[in-house]
Amino acid sequence: MLYSVLIYDTESVIDALSEEEHKARLDRHLHFQDDPRDQQELGAVVKLMPTTTAVTLRGGPIEDTVLDGPFAETKEQLLGFYLIECPSLEAAVQQVKKLPLETGAVEIRPVAYFEGGNFKNGSPLVISDP
């Protein structure tokens, strides 16, 4: 089964972390990625920009509107997600326990349909900060 691993936390708290703590957090993410990567069970690694960069389109009776900010104002925000292949929910839960979980929440949601897409900047499919 392909699972999405949706990472939620409070942006302002993440923002208050020191550089060392950010690094420690990143190390745990890299550790999380190791096994799925080796076993070729890593579908996607996605880190989102802060919610302040988002706009939300809403349908309305007269015309669609483009609103600033994320879809919902919540205490915790979606910060990023993974797609990983796991043999069972239990295995997914065990795998996700490698992620930093001191605050926030990680939602594991099975994927109903997935298509890798058709992406002109293909191989290797990586967009990152230097």
Partner 1 sequence: MDPHWLSATLSAARPRVVAALFRYFRDLDEAEDCFQEASLRALRAWGERGVPDDGISWLIKVGRNIGLDRYRKQSRYVASEETEPVASDPETEYVAQLDAQDYRDDMLRLLFTCCHPTLPKPQQVALALKVIAGLRVEEIAKAFLVRVKTMEQRITRAKRALGQARISHDPPSSAERDERLKAVSTAIYLLFNEGYSAAAGEAHIRVSICEEAIRLARLLLRLFPTEAEIMGLLSLCLIQHSRHRARLDASGDIVLLEHQDRGHWDRGLIAEGSVLLEKALRKRQPGPFQIQAAIASVHAQARTAEQTDWAEIVRLYALLERVHPSPVVVLNRAVAVAKVDGPAAALSLLEPLEAKLSGYFHYHGVRGALLADLGRREEALAAFRLALTHGGTAAETTHIRQKIEELGANPVIPPPA
Which stretches of the chain bind partner 1, using CB under 8 A? Answer: 10-18, 21, 49-53, 55, 66-69, 73, 75, 102-103, 128-130
Phi, psi (deg, nearest 5) at residue 109? -130, 120
In the complex, the smallest distance separating the C-beta of residue 75 from partner 1, rounded to whole angstroms, is: 8
Q: In degrees, to the nearest 5, what angle opens at C-alpha 33 toward C-alphas 26 and 101?
A: 55
What span, in angstroms and rounded, lies between the C-alpha atoms of 42 and 5? 11
In the complex, the smallest distance separating the C-beta of residue 129 from partner 1, rounded to whole angstroms, is: 3
The answer to whether the beta carbons of residues 76 and 104 sit under 8 Å apart is yes
In the complex, the smallest distance separating the C-beta of residue 111 from partner 1, rounded to whole angstroms, is: 27
Query: Whose Cβ is closer to partner 1: residue 58's or residue 87's?
Result: 58
In the complex, the smallest distance separating the C-beta of residue 16 from partner 1, rounded to whole angstroms, is: 4
What span, in angstroms and rounded, lies between the C-alpha atoms of 58 and 53? 17
Query: Whose Cβ is closer to partner 1: residue 69's or residue 110's?
Result: 69
Record the tokens describing residue 16, joined without a space: 């208050």
Query: Whose Cβ is closer to partner 1: residue 51's or residue 95's?
Result: 51
